[in-house]
Amino acid sequence: MAKAVPSPLAAVAVLALLLLCRGAEARVLLTLDDFGGVGDGIANDTQALLDAWAAACSSTQEAVLAVPAGKVYQIWPVQLSGPCKKRLKLLISGAIVAPSSPDEWAGRDPMKWLYVYGVDGLSVSGGGTIDGMGQQWWASTCKRKKTQPCYSGPRPKAVHFEECREVSVQGVTLQNAQQFQLTFTRCSCVKASFLRVVAPADSPNTDGIHLNDTSHVRITDNLISTGDDCVSMVGNCSDVRVKDISCGPGHGISIGSLGKNRTTDMVEDVKVDTCLLTNTTNGVRIKSWQGGTGFARDLRFENIVMRNVSNPIIIDQYYCDQPTPCANQTQAVEVRRVEFAGIRGTSATPQAISIACSDAVPCRDLELANVNLTLEGGGAGRATALCYRASGKSAGTVVPPSCLARS
């Protein structure tokens, strides 16, 4: 009988398996407990995390840094810095919690809790929980507390990556952030997927996933329920894909705010696709302050279902989130080449489409295609659309009827 000769594909598969096994053998596993972590939710385990991080980051082998299941590690404000010698995985199977009192930030940077700087090739996973314990922070803010004294200063971004590349965060719960839940600043090649991001509807400024000056981003398959934007992006962001998101409650999915304090912001090549928004105060939104410069262009929002959503489609070049009125300005962030396609559902407000653009820099090349938005609860009234200084085209059926001026 002739001897069987392995096919080229089989040889490649064997080689890939050998390489995979060899890679697995080269990894080192470290846990917080190896470095004195207690994990009872009471002890301060910050030093254990710092020591474990230092060992993992300096390892000549790829390291897995584990937060063991069934334990709760209380971590004070901390900076985890790179560069690391090899790729690193942070496996969070237990819980990491912040101190509950804002007083614990005395003498520390009030804008940081878990701050990761200059680390490339980091992945975070494990099914565990990161809890910002933000309740006391929210209670003291002027947005929540209407009598003096109230706090209007900075609050920590719970998990903040800055100057990182090839970062992946997946399969964990982020909850009750002091302010933003998950932030990427000046990062590239980012993945955030299969996340549960939650905070009460009245928790101020608890944006779910926030991008600032970040590019090549994939945000997919996430459940986000917060007190602010489910997803937001500011500064200079490009090549962003947001897909398969359940959002609500919250403030919807936002580009902006842009142009605050006359800054120049540039957001382009963003696609938001296949999302469900429920009971949010806005739907898909572009917001910019008067006086800014730059642009928001080449944006597409498609295949989105709204359920009882206020302001389902909104472009607002007169955004003003401050207690005193904003002065009129002649400059504005340009909004151009924006598509809203396949958007359907119910509006909690009579005005389902609101597009308010600048006199000096009108919105151009907008498109409404196959939009069907009706009033929540039905009744005799119909949803309406209002446009100001906005031009473009419509395609298919558009309900309420398009208000765009023809280009």
| Euclidean distance between CA atoms 374 and 343, whole angstroms | 11
Q: What is the pLDDT along the chain (407 residues), one digit of tens a residue?
A: 444 444 544 444 444 444 444 444 468 999 999 999 999 999 999 999 999 999 999 999 999 999 999 999 999 999 999 999 999 999 999 999 999 999 999 999 999 999 999 999 999 999 999 999 999 999 999 989 888 999 989 999 999 999 999 999 999 999 999 999 999 999 999 999 999 999 999 999 999 999 999 999 999 999 999 999 999 999 999 999 999 999 999 999 999 999 999 999 999 999 999 999 999 999 999 999 999 999 999 999 999 999 999 999 999 999 998 889 999 998 999 999 999 999 999 999 999 999 999 999 999 999 999 999 999 987 667 999 999 999 999 999 999 999 999 87
Tokens of 161: 């990556």
For the chain, residues classed under CATH 2.160.20.10 are 26-228, 247-406
Query: Which of these, 227, 237, 167, 238, lies nearest to 198 by C-alpha position?
Result: 227
Exposure on the CB side of residue 296, measured as CA atoms within 13 A = 33
Determine which helix (DSSP H) or strand (DSSP E) holds 368, and give its type and residue range: strand 363-375
SS3 state at 47: helix
Distances (CA, A) of 274 to 137, 253, 267, 317: 34, 12, 21, 26
**Ramachandran angles phi, psi of 73, nearest 5°:** -110, 120
Q: Are 349 and 322 in contact (CB under 8 A)?
A: no
CATH superfamily name and code, 26-228: Single-stranded right-handed beta-helix, Pectin lyase-like (2.160.20.10)
Query: Cβ-count burial of 232 within 10 angstroms (0-12 exposed, 13-18 middle, 19+ buried)?
Result: buried
Tokens of 241: 């894909």
Active-site amino acid positions: 251
CATH number for the domain whose boundaries are 247-406: 2.160.20.10
Query: Which of these, 227, 277, 237, 233, lies nearest to 255 by C-alpha position?
Result: 233
| Euclidean distance between CA atoms 112 and 108, whole angstroms | 8
